[in-house]
Structure 1
Amino acid sequence: MMREIILASHGALAAGMADTARMIIGDDPHLSTLALLPGSHPDCLKRQIEERLAAGTADEFLILTDLWGGSVNNALLALAQDPRVHIVAGMNLNLVLQLCLSPEPLARAIPAALAEARQGMIYGNAVLACPQTEDELF
């Protein structure tokens, strides 16, 4: 099954996230980025993805956006009407890595990857203030 993963954000966040992911997992030709830059309109990003959908370049399209309710996410959310498209807001590196590496269909991979990404968010000060065993942290 061919999957295309698109990181979409305000500014350069998506490009930086993709660059870091590639540093860890190697080049992934199915990973691309879209950026909403000052002076541009989010509908331009939507049109770019619509062109890819029309071209039929993949069986599944995963769009990871930076912020739920943000203009990038709002513009792209309508694309989820296409059954090939899955949109997840609030991307972080853990989530990107999990989904780039998962062989599972997105409908199964996304819930597990979200749970894993959430577990990776840890307030370091609280851990230092209340020492725990490694088993309690994970």
Structure 2
Amino acid sequence: MNQILLVSHGDLAKGMLQTVSMLIGELDNIYAFSSYRDDENALLYRINEKIKTFNKSDEIYILTDIFGGSVNNEVLTLLNQPNITLIAGMNLGLVVGIATQADKINESELDRIIQESQQGIINCNAFLAKEMNKEGDDL
């Protein structure tokens, strides 16, 4: 089974989980972890405690908010486990893309999901201006 851990600064991960649940329904394999400046329980400790509840055969996808941020850097220490994949730059398209996969995601499929999630980031002003110039009409 695929297990998904959403990890962020502040409440981004919790909001992402709530939004994904609204779009595709409640899933029992997605978990949110938030990091705060005054945390009493260390983020890595809480993540490790959750990972201990998974089956050894589970694939674990950890999605963090920003590459190079403190949350991402902390989670990097878990990459010594072969069943963990860490992806930085989480967005809704990425979470939905991974959450809708029932089986282990092979490298090319994961690359496709990541590319599709990146393509969902669009400057709408520039897009509309380009389309208007192309068609010569108002939209």
Between 45-54 and 81-90, the greater mean CA deviation after superposition: 45-54
Q: Which residue of 2 aligns with 1:112?
A: 112
Root mean square deviation, CA, Å? 1.9
TM-score (norm. length: structure 1): 0.86
How far does the alpha carbon of each residue in 1:57-92 deviate from its partner, in whole angstroms, 9 at most, with x for none? 361111100010111100001101100111000000
Measure how far apart 1:55 and its partner are: 3.8
Correspondence 1:23-62 to 2 at 5 A: 23-40=22-39, 44-57=42-55, 59-62=58-61
1:72 aligns with 2:67: no
- Give the whole-Å Cα distance in 1 for the aligned partners of 2:50 and 2:37: 24
Percentage identity across aligned positions?
A: 36
Measure how far apart 1:103 and its partner are: 2.8
Q: Which runs of 5+ in 1 are unaligned?
A: 134-138
Number of residue pairs aligned between Structure 1 and Structure 2: 131
User: Which structure has greater helix proportion?
Assistant: 1
How far does the alpha carbon of each residue in 1:35-71 deviate from its partner, in whole angstroms, 9 at most, with x for none? 0023127x81212222233344361111100010111
State the secondary structure of the residue aligned to 2:66.
coil
Measure how far apart 1:105 and its partner are: 1.7
Larger radius of gyration, structure 1 or 2? 2
Q: 1:8 to 1:83 in 2, by over 3 A?
A: same
1:60 maps to a residue whose letter is: E
State the secondary structure of the residue aligned to 2:38.
coil
- Give the whole-Å Cα distance in 1 for the aligned partners of 2:130 and 2:53: 54
CA contact (8 A) 2:2 2:102 kept: no
How far does the alpha carbon of each residue in 1:1-39 deviate from its partner, in whole angstroms, 9 at most, with x for none? x12101000000000011011100000110110000231
